[in-house]
Amino acid sequence: MNLFNIKDKVAVITGGTGVLGSSIAEHLAASGAKIVILGRNQETIDQSISTLKENGYEALGIAADILNKKSLEAAREKIIYHYGKVDILLNAAGGNMPGATITDEQTIFDLSMDAFQTVTDLNLNGTVLPSIVFGELMAQQKEGVIVNFSSMTVERAVTRVVGYSASKAGMENFTRWMAVEMATKFSDKIRVNAIAPGFFIGNQNRKLLTNEDGSYSQRGHSIINNTPMKRFGEANELAGAIHFLCSDASQFITGIVLPVDGGFSAFSGV
């Protein structure tokens, strides 16, 4: 028996057109999973789906708003029509936003509460709602796996990103809560975990971590100095951890947050 077999599993990925989500979609597809990408922009979704299909993979793209229950329920209906089930939900949609970030010139007293609310909606509610809509289906199926996307900003304060950190912290707590709820009330075959990526250069943090000439910014250097492996992560380096959490190899693991961080969370900095 291959513990890591995920062939023909139906994997729904919110934020599946993003830097990390698209890399994971590619890996899971190559491992035989059927990929459903949920995104906001139909054109971007179509591009991601055609890339997967050009490589011979099974994939479906659906425009859906992760903050709108009806939109998610409509997506769920389409998926049931096409594939009949959902085995895996990856809540990859999320991120930071400028207004909820404290710049070098500002202090906490300059925080925009509107921006704080928006970033909380995205990272906390944007994981809770898809988990409810697809978790309900998993409860009926008595089987399923959810993997959430946390961050290194949860355990210790990382300057600037106050709203992002607080909302990811809430999301980590929800991961544990949902894991307990599903295992105690529905099935020990429904598992809910999270990964906590370290620092991967992507669209959202490129300007913070690098200068225009591509060299590392002061913040970029600071992160590298606190990362024992002395480098940023590559998107494809999340694939193994996610594959593990999605497969029977982790069948007795639920409610955990798995760091994928080059040692950042283990290091005191000294």
Ligand X SMILES: NC(=O)c1ccc[n+]([C@@H]2O[C@H](COP(=O)([O-])OP(=O)(O)OC[C@H]3O[C@@H](n4cnc5c(N)ncnc54)[C@H](O)[C@@H]3O)[C@@H](O)[C@H]2O)c1
Residue 165 makes contact with ligand X by CB under 6 A: no
Q: What is the DSSP string of 100-169?
A: GS--TT--GGG--HHHHHHHHIIIIIHHHHHHHHHHHHHHHHT-EEEEEE--TTTTS--TT-HHHHHHHH
Residue 99 makes contact with ligand X by CB under 6 A: no
The answer to whether the beta carbons of residues 56 and 31 sit under 8 Å apart is no
| Closer CB to ligand X, 17 or 247, in the complex | 17
Pick the piece of the chain touching ligand X (CB under 6 A) from 52-60, 72-80, 199-207, 262-270: 199-207
- The interface with ligand X within residues 135-154 (CB under 6 A) comprises 149, 151
Helix (H, G, I), strand (E, B) or coil at 198: coil
The answer to whether the beta carbons of residues 151 and 160 sit under 8 Å apart is no
Selected from 25, 66, 72, 145, the binder of ligand X by CB under 6 A is 66
216 has catalytic annotation: no
| Closer CB to ligand X, 147 or 186, in the complex | 147
Q: Whole-angstrom distance between the N-terminal and C-terminal Cα of the chain? A: 44
Q: Which amino acid is at 55?
A: N
| Closer CB to ligand X, 186 or 262, in the complex | 262
| Closer CB to ligand X, 73 or 143, in the complex | 73
Plot region of 157 (φ>0 → left; ψ -120 to 50 → alpha; else → beta): beta
Minimal distance, residue 87 CB to ligand X, in Å: 20
Structure tokens at 225: 């100095």
Pick the piece of the chain touching ligand X (CB under 6 A) from 10-18, 69-77, 108-116, 184-192: 10-18
Helix (H, G, I), strand (E, B) or coil at 11: strand
| Whole-number Å distance between alpha carbons of 169 and 194 | 11
Residue 20 makes contact with ligand X by CB under 6 A: yes
Minimal distance, residue 47 CB to ligand X, in Å: 12
Residue 161 makes contact with ligand X by CB under 6 A: no
Candidates 57, 81, 83, 164; catalytic one: 164
Interface residues with ligand X (CB under 6 A) are 15, 17-21, 39-40, 65-66, 92-95, 122, 149, 151, 197, 199-200, 202-205
Catalytic residues: 164
